Structure 1
Amino acid sequence: HWLATDETVGARRLTVAASSFGADGSHDLHRHPHADEFFLVLSGGGTHLMGGARVPVHAGDLVFVPAGEWHGFRTGRAGPTAALYGYLGAPSLARAGYQVRPAAAAEVIR
């Protein structure tokens, strides 16, 4: 759910969105070369993959992803997870340069 973008509020250098994931939910490995990202876990948790490392995250944890770095997320069996995330330096997903890693389907976070 897009909360703040160039289209919703006229943002120039910031995008903010809310997302939810069910049990065994995931977001494929991806990057956005034109914007940093923040990912704040509001409830639930899971595993964040960044720089080849698997980092457990829980409610209250904040992940910072530099522009251009491949990363992804998986809830596992922990159950539903809610997160607030956004891009710093770009007012939309398209302007951030969102790209899914071509082999992402074979690199599911476990």
Structure 2
Amino acid sequence: MSRMYRTTLADVPHVQGLKRADGWVDMQVQFLIDKKTAGADHVVGWTVLRPGASHECHRHRNCDEFFIVLEGEGHIITDTGLEPSRKGDVVYSPRGCWHGFDNTSDRDVVLVWGWMGAGSIADSGYETPGRSEEGGP
């Protein structure tokens, strides 16, 4: 039988163990819905990037990703360089597409995001350019 899963942002702990060496630079990340909590084959997340924080260039071999900028501004990392981004932007990165986000402002950036097709980091096929067979942009 299918069951609804419900949580609230205040009850979801920050993800622990995200390493700077893997591109997670001073980020506060929460997995609101994922395989572990809801048995889902996707992840819905919430991220706060303080000024100077970054989710450096990375990709997911096994899932697509989207994010929506709810607050703040910065730069989207693309395979061709940096592009300005601000509140209201909606970005879609299909599996295998290199991407990231830098908060280059003096205010927090808040993102809601999702991985379609993977319920965990391990399932997503997460990799950074230095740890990729193809090298990255």
Fold equivalence (TM over 0.5): yes
Structure 2: gaps of 5 or more residues: 1-29, 132-137
Partner residue in 2 for 1:83: 111
Structure 1: gaps (5+ residues): 104-110
Q: 1:9 aligns with which of 23, 35, 38?
A: 38
Deviations 1:23-67 (A, max 9, x none): 111111111010010011110011001121422111111110010
Query: TM-score if structure 2 supplies the norm length?
Result: 0.70
| Percentage of identical aligned residues | 34
Q: How large is the Cα RMSD of the aligned pairs?
A: 1.3
Is residue 94 from structure 1 mapped to residue 122 from structure 2 by the alignment? yes
Q: 2:93 matched to which residue of 1?
A: 65
Cα deviation, 1:60-89, whole Å, max 9, x if unaligned, reads 111100101111110102421010111011
Q: Which has the higher contact order (CA 8 A, sep 6+)?
A: 1
Please tell me whether Structure 1 or Structure 2 has the larger radius of gyration of its CA atoms: 2
SS of the residue corresponding to residue 43 of structure 2 reads strand
Q: Distance in 1 between matches of 2:122 and 2:93?
A: 17
Partner of 1:33: 61
Residue 74 of structure 2 contacts residue 85 of structure 2 at CA under 8 Å; is this kept in 1?
yes
8 Å CA contact 1:28–1:101 kept in 2: the answer is no
Between the aligned partners of 2:59 and 2:109, the Cα distance in structure 1 is 21
- Aligned positions, number: 102
Report the TM-score when normalising by structure 1: 0.86
CA contact (8 A) 1:46 1:78 kept: no
Q: Which runs of 4+ in 1 moved over 6 A?
A: none
Contact 1:45/1:75 (8 A) holds in 2: yes
Equivalent AA in structure 2 for residue 3 of structure 1: L
User: Which amino acid counterpart does residue 18 of structure 1 have in structure 2?
Assistant: W
Give distance in 1, aligned partners of 2:38 and 2:126. Answer: 20
